[in-house]
Structure 1
Amino acid sequence: MTTSPPSSKDPTHDPIFGAIRVTLDAEQGVLTVSGEKIPTVALVRTNDADTSDHIPIGTRCARHLSLTLDGSPARIVPSRGRILRRSYRVDVEYAGVGYRLTPDSMGSSGLLKDGIAIGELSSPGDGSVLADWAEEAEVLPQDAAVGYTLAAAFGTGAQPFWMTAVEAASNMIP
């Protein structure tokens, strides 16, 4: 099941959870995700964080980020985002459940819940998100809310290591 991309005014339509609104204010460092059938999630960046334009929320530093799900705090730990795909993973712990969003192709990332794949998400980094939920998985409203939040806040996908290595090597040749 794939969601349709949002227009500039319309929310994304998720086939399981209905309308989902993703609002990203990159300049202020605030992302909110809300919808008909999902809890509201807020991800906020502190004002003193060093920001980077290639990260939609502006930083991958956990101490500069706070995450709440329906008003309750959740623990968020983004990895540094360097050479290997797995270095772009983002972990969240909420109410005893562990989530991980990790790139698995150039444009998309898989969402794991307690180590089990529950969906594939893609976001170009502009706040829009497409979700494809695994048919065999039981995807709960909080799962979708966390997935949309992580994809919108950090983008999805990453180059494979070999491509990054070739690019680095070609940049060294005069």
Structure 2
Amino acid sequence: MSAEEHVAKAIQFHEEGALTKPNQKEGVAWLRKAADSAILEIADDEHLIKDGKTVDALETKTRKAQFALSIYELGVSHMNGWGIEQDKVLALRCFEIAGSWGDADALAETGFCYAQGIGCKKNLKKSARFYRQAEAKGISMIGNSWIYKPKYQDDDEATAIPEPRLSTETQKEKKSKHHIFGRNKS
């Protein structure tokens, strides 16, 4: 199945589970497959760029935005223990990745995690940065005017979470037995 088909299947299971009989484990399995496919497709693009080949930047950006939803939803599942073991550190990492790929909700969730110290050490500067990025993408930050106070401004706004990358050597290995988060597939 293509990554797009994995995302569609995950959304289908998610929607069906919310209405009648939840099948959270199967939904999470499809989300993981979508996330795995996404990171490999993006890594393939990066590999082509390293080899000096032309890759449509808009197409890569669009691909990241499409798959950010699956990674965000996987983060929500890890945060709440829905269909998978609760792991708040991994949930935060999912939100960071999805946010770096353009998902506004993921940016807001990341900001919340840093503000509350969920899955990380509390860090209001980081929280404010993610909240400002979420607001720039249209998320309402009513009641969060504190994010613009000088003490919560980064000295260097260029310290954003780096996008996940796979080295050329490990790309083949990851295709065969790993997924985006570096844990073995079962």
* Common fold: TM-score over 0.5: no
Q: TM-score, normalised by structure 1?
A: 0.25
Richer in strand (by share):
1
Please state which structure has a larger fraction of its residues in helix. 2
Structure ID, larger Rg: 2
